[in-house]
């Protein structure tokens, strides 16, 4: 008897500002083989139009959000309307070059049930140099090397649906930045691992993000919120202090960036971070043994 193909809910997130990239990403989803997809294109403050037609056994629906509610909240809105044993998130400037990508990614998780979240290797299809930040490790090593990680590049991520639901979803209050760290930590807190797979490839253009003042502010605010929401209280100030030192060293010659960063740092401490769900001390120990204590 032939096994039924895995079912995957897919959230394709966009603001409608990159129509060519969006078309490419949608086509790469519709080309997937060996899986059954329930795809929703979420327009974050935009009514999705001009998308390719879906063909059986695929479906491609749209969800228009009246305003841009932020990246993590937009993903959550899409997750609420798709179904499947697994859930996959794809940003509109990413695409899947291999039509067997999702089938192979599901096979990785099924062959190793300890994997709770999978991020592929990210490659610029033009041949440009790939940013090192796409490999979510302190010691980057070779991009083709697979292994456990403690944060993810959020543009292409796959989880079993039950695992995603148990995390509580993406950190909606964050709006932008560091939501991939929280999601990874909450996967580890389920006794599972977050996995970087160097053999599976997603495409994304190698463009440096523009650094506006709000980038530095949200980066710092969300770093504090991340600690307040997820760490045992004794570790929260240690984690924030570590990253404060790193940023001061990193941007010592950019006083305007540091000023914006410390504005976000102060905002993070004085404002509500949302629901607090601290990871257990057992999780802290597992992460430490795996090479990344949650104080760095």
Round the average pLDDT of the chain to a whole number and report it: 94
Whole-angstrom distance, CA of residue 243 vs CA of residue 239: 6
Inside any domain, residue 284: no
Compute the 3-state secondary structure of the chain and give helix, strand, coil in percent, each to the nearest 5. Answer: 40, 20, 40
Number of domains observed in the structure of the chain = 2
State whether 161 and 45 are in the same domain.
Answer: yes
State whether 23 and 151 are in the same domain.
Answer: yes
Please give the residue range of the domain that contains residue 168: 7-203
pLDDT in tens, 114-156: 999 999 999 999 998 998 999 999 888 999 999 999 999 999 9
State whether 102 and 220 are in the same domain.
Answer: no
Inside any domain, residue 217: yes
pLDDT above 90: residue 212: no
Query: Any idea what the CATH number is for the domain that residue 35 is in?
Result: 3.90.550.10
State whether 145 and 11 are in the same domain.
Answer: yes
pLDDT above 70: residue 57: no
State whether 79 and 178 are in the same domain.
Answer: yes
Three-state SS string over 185-237 comes to HHHHCCCCEEEEEEEEEEECCCCCCCCCHHHHHHHHHHHHHHHHHHCCCCCHH
Of 185, 203, 221, which residue sits at a domain end? Answer: 203
Inside any domain, residue 295: no
State whether 35 and 144 are in the same domain.
Answer: yes
Question: What is residue 296's predicted lDDT score, i.e. its pLDDT?
Answer: 84
Position 211 confidence tier, pLDDT thresholds 50, 70, 90:
low
**Cβ neighbours, 10 Å, residue 133:** 11
State whether 189 and 254 are in the same domain.
Answer: no
CB within 8 Å of 22: residues ≥ 6 apart: 12, 14, 16, 41, 51, 92
State whether 222 and 172 are in the same domain.
Answer: no
pLDDT above 90: residue 58: no
Question: What is residue 88's predicted lDDT score, i.e. its pLDDT?
Answer: 98
Question: What is residue 168's predicted lDDT score, i.e. its pLDDT?
Answer: 98
Position 53 confidence tier, pLDDT thresholds 50, 70, 90:
confident
Question: What is residue 40's predicted lDDT score, i.e. its pLDDT?
Answer: 97
State whether 79 and 161 are in the same domain.
Answer: yes
Question: What is residue 269's predicted lDDT score, i.e. its pLDDT?
Answer: 97
Higher-confidence residue: 211 or 89?
89
State whether 87 and 229 are in the same domain.
Answer: no
pTM of the entire predicted model: 0.95
State whether 185 and 270 are in the same domain.
Answer: no
pLDDT in tens, 23-49: 999 999 999 999 999 999 999 999 999
State whether 41 and 92 are in the same domain.
Answer: yes
């Amino acid at each position: 008897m032939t096994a039924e193909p895995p079912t995957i809910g897919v959230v394709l997130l966009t603001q409608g500002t990159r129509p060519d990239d969006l078309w490419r990403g949608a086509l790469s989803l519709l080309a997937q083989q060996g899986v059954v997809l329930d795809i929703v294109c979420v327009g974050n403050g935009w009514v999705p139009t001009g998308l390719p037609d879906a063909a059986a056994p695929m479906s491609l629906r749209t969800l228009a959000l009246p305003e841009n509610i932020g990246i993590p909240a937009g993903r959550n809105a899409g997750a609420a309307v798709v179904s499947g044993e697994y859930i996959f998130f794809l940003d509109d400037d990413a695409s899947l070059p291999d039509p067997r990508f999702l089938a192979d990614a599901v096979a990785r998780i099924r062959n190793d049930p300890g994997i709770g979240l999978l991020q592929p290797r990210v490659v610029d299809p033009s041949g440009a140099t790939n940013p090192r930040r796409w490999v979510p490790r302190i010691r980057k090593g070779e991009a083709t090397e697979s292994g456990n990680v403690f944060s993810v590049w959020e543009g292409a991520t796959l989880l079993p649906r039950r695992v995603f639901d148990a995390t509580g979803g993406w950190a909606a209050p964050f709006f932008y930045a560091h939501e991939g760290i929280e999601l990874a930590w909450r996967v580890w807190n389920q006794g599972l691992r977050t996995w970087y797979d160097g053999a599976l490839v997603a495409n994304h253009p190698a463009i440096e993000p523009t650094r506006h003042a709000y980038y530095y502010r949200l980066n710092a605010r969300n770093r504090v919120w991340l600690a307040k929401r997820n760490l045992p209280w004794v570790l929260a100030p240690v984690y924030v202090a570590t990253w404060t030192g790193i940023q001061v060293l990193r941007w010592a010659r950019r006083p305007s960036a540091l000023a914006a960063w410390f504005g976000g740092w102060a905002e993070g401490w004085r404002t509500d971070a949302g629901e607090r769900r601290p990871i257990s001390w057992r999780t802290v120990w597992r992460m430490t043994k795996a090479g990344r204590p949650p104080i760095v």
